[in-house]
Every structure is written in C-alpha cells, then in structure tokens.
Amino acid sequence: MASTDALQLKALSESDVAGCMALSAETGWNQTPDDWALFMRHGTVFGLPDSDGRPVATAAILPYPDDFAWISMVLVTAVRRRARIGTRILQTCCVELTRRGLVAVLDATPAGERVYRPLGFEPMFGLTRWQGAVAGRVDGELSADTRLMSERDIRGVAAIDAAAFGANREFLLESFFQRAPHLAFVTQNLDGFVLARPGRIATQIGPLIAANEADAMALLRAALGMAHGPVFLDIADRWKAVADLLRQKEFTMQRPYLRMALDRSAPFGDPARTFVVAGPEFG
Ligand SMILES: CC(C)(COP(=O)(O)OP(=O)(O)OC[C@H]1O[C@@H](n2cnc3c(N)ncnc32)[C@H](O)[C@@H]1OP(=O)(O)O)[C@@H](O)C(=O)NCCC(=O)NCCS
C-alpha cells in the first residue's frame, strides 16, 4: 500500500462541494450537495485535486461506530480512469479504517467490484436498484397499519434501524426526515419505518426496515403514494414480493449492486428486516 502516498490526496471540506457535485453528476449519480456536506461533517472525503484544485477523484468514509464504516463516492473522472487511481484511493480509505479499528463496508457497482475484489473485499449480499415514476399524492395508499412519522419518532426509528443495519445512524435518519418529512412513515406498532430524500435526478426511497414483507409493502405503498416524479430504490435481492409490487407499478431494474466488506462476508445487523437500503452511498 506504499503507493498511496504518491497520490497527493487531501481531505475535502464543504468549500469543495461544488467540485464534488460536478464529479458525481458527470457519472450520472443522484447525490445532492446535502449528501456531500453530510460526508464532510460526519466522515472524511478524500479527494485528488487537479491543478485548479477541483477534485478529479474522490472516496468518502462514514464511520458507523462501533464496528464498521461505509466507503462510498469512489469516483474517478472519465479521462483519468484505468490509471490505478481508484485502487489507490480505496487503499487509503482501508488503511485509515484499519487504523481506527473499523471494518470497511461498501455497495459496489459492477465496475467498482472489479477494483475491490483484488483488495480483499468479499460479497455479503446482492441489491438491485429499481427506477420508476409516480404520479403524486394518493392518500388511498396509506393503510390502517401505517402513519406519518413525526420528529418524536426519530429516536425509536434509529433503534429499529440500528438492530437491522448493525449500527446507530440517527444523524443520517434525522437528516433524511428533515429533507422529506412527507415521505416518512412508521408502522402503527413502531417496528418498521420508511424514509426518503430528494436526489439530483430522482427521489430516493430508503431505508425501509420492517418486521415482515407485508409491513414492508404497506410502508412502500405509503411512500410511493406521496412521492412525485422519478423514484430510485435499492432493494435486497431476496424480497421477491416487493420486486413484484414494483413491477406492477412499471418500475424497472436499473443496475445491480453487491454489498461487500473487507475480509468479511457475514452481514452486520439483521438483513431479514432490511428491505430497502439507504442507498449505496450510505448503506
Ligand atoms: C470504478 C472506478 C472508480 C475505477 O477507477 P479506476 O481508477 O479506473 O480503477 P483502477 O485503474 O484502479 O482499476 C483497477 C483494476 O480494476 C479493473 N477495472 C477498473 N475499471 C474497469 C472497467 N471499467 N472494466 C473492466 N475492469 C476494470 C481492472 O482490472 C483495473 O486494473 P487494470 O487497469 O490494470 O486492468 C471508475 O471506473 C469510476 O469512477 N467509475 C464510475 C463510478 C463507479 O462505478 N464507482 C464505483 C462505485 S462502487
């Protein structure tokens, strides 16, 4: 891993958000300035600046104490690819996480998977990004078992999420709630929830955590019923009835992801309650 020093990486700050947005938009990704700022506030974004100081490559680490951290935003501008920049920036993240005693976890695109496997990342489970469009407010989609989330629910929601995800990320759930409170729902008995947030291209629904697939579908119907326009969601591949519901609503599969961790294949938390993940950038 000695070659990482030669990359001249710097830790980016919120003054770099516009440059980071240019990089993620170039690849067609959905993140917003709020997302990038959140990585900078709660984690670290490594960037490779060009001569003007604009990042031409990035990778973010977001610690989720106590066991692991998320790696995301692994991006290399198109004209600089296949020069091992992606590999070396990833190595920098892994060295930093090893130093902090945290396992590196990520959701890999097929291109990213080719970079991560040789570094020792192992598959945990597959995900699929679904995309579609919804027409807007359909109150009839709200079943008797679900209700709108309120700010008072966030603490309990964070506990449900922590049991399923494997780490408490209340700061993230609070941020999503503030960005789209009208798309946040809980089950009446408070054992499941869904959150969503606006993206650059589409509303991203997730995370959606539930005790069973029927509750998950009720929460999903509630969020889809209140969303408007293009929607993305990243669903664990095991949930066939959820996929069928999306097909009925004319959603299509956009791309696969593979959840991977460095030197580890056992998932954290409880994947049996994880229906829609927050997204590859947040886990
Ligand atoms: C994935 C990405 C970060 C790779 O960055 P990079 O700097 O080009 O990667 P590297 O040069 O370190 O590639 C290392 C190895 O991975 C493999 N690899 C990387 N990209 C590949 C591709 N598009 N097709 C096939 N193999 C690929 C090759 O084996 C490569 O080694 P080689 O060039 O010596 O054959 C870059 O392509 C990118 O930004 N893609 C779009 C965003 C994305 O998908 N990011 C990953 C998110 S999980």
Task: Express each pLDDT in 8-37 by its tens digit.
Answer: 999 999 999 999 999 999 999 999 999 999
Percent of the chain with pLDDT over 70: 96
Task: Give mean pLDDT, residues 142-158.
Answer: 94
Residue in 81, 87, 117 to alter for ligand 1 test, most ligand atoms within 8 A of Cβ: 81
The answer to whether 276 touches 206, Cβ cutoff 8 Å, is yes
Q: Give the Å distance between the CA of 217 and the centre of ligand 1.
A: 36
- pLDDT at site 7: 86
Asked whether the bond before 271 is cis by omega within 30 degrees of 0, the reply is no
Q: Which two tokens stand for residue 245?
A: 């519901």
Give the CA diameter of the chain: 59
The answer to whether 106 and 260 have CB atoms below 8 angstroms apart is yes
How is residue 46 written in tokens?
A: 């490594």
CA of 200 to the centre of ligand 1 (A): 24
Spacing, Cα 180 to ligand 1 middle (Å): 34
For residues 154-179, average pLDDT: 98
Q: Which residues line ligand 1 (CB under 6 A)?
A: 27, 74-76, 81-87, 108-109, 111-112, 114-115
Torsion, Cα 162 166 169 172, to 10 degrees, reads -100
**Which atom of ligand 1 is closest in space to residue 109's alpha carbon?**
48
User: Per-residue DSSP letters for 85-113?
Assistant: HHHHHHHHHHHHHHHHT-EEEEEE-HHHH
Q: Whose CA is nearest to atom 36 of ligand 1?
A: 76
Q: Counting atoms of ligand 1 from 1, which one is nearest the CA of 81?
A: 8
Average pLDDT value for residue range 270-274:
96
CA distances from 160 to 3, 157, 168, 231, 236 (A): 42, 5, 9, 24, 18
**Would you kindly state where each structural domain of the chain is located, as residue ranges?**
2-101, 127-276
- 182 CA to centre of ligand 1 in angstroms: 38
| Residue to mutate (ligand 1; options 89, 115, 262; most atoms within 8 A of CB) | 115
- Number of Cβ within 10 Å of residue 28's Cβ equals 8
Give nearest CA residue, ligand 1 atom 9: 86
Average pLDDT of the residues in 255-259:
97
Q: Is the pLDDT of residue 138 over 70?
A: no
Residue closest by Cα to atom 7 of ligand 1: 86
pLDDT at 114 over 80: yes
Q: Whose CA is nearest to atom 18 of ligand 1?
A: 114
The Cα–Cα gap between 32 and 45 comes to 15
Band (pLDDT 50/70/90 cuts) for residue 283 is very high
What mean pLDDT comes out for the span 36-53?
97
Fold classification of 127-276 is Aminopeptidase (3.40.630)
> Which is it for the CA torsion 208, 168, 159, 156, positive or negative?
negative
pLDDT value for 139: 58
Ramachandran assignment for 250, one of left (phi > 0), alpha (psi -120 to 50 degrees), beta (any other): left
Do domains 2-101 and 127-276 share one topology? The answer is: yes
Ligand 1: atom nearest CA of 115 is 16
Task: Name the least confident of 74-83, 140-149, 199-208, 260-269.
Answer: 140-149
Report the pLDDT value the prediction gives residue 90, as an integer from 0 to 100.
96
Is 2-101 in CATH node 3.40.50.620? Answer: no
User: Among candidates 124, 112, 33, which has minimal Cα distance to 71?
Assistant: 112
**From CA 47, how far away is CA 61, in angstroms rounded?**
12
Lowest mean pLDDT segment, chosen from 5-14, 97-106, 156-165 = 5-14
For residue 112 the two structure tokens come to 């990213």
- Return d(Cα 97, Cα 23) in angstroms, integer: 24
How many angstroms does the Cα of residue 113 sit away from the middle of ligand 1? 8
Average pLDDT over every residue of 241-256: 96
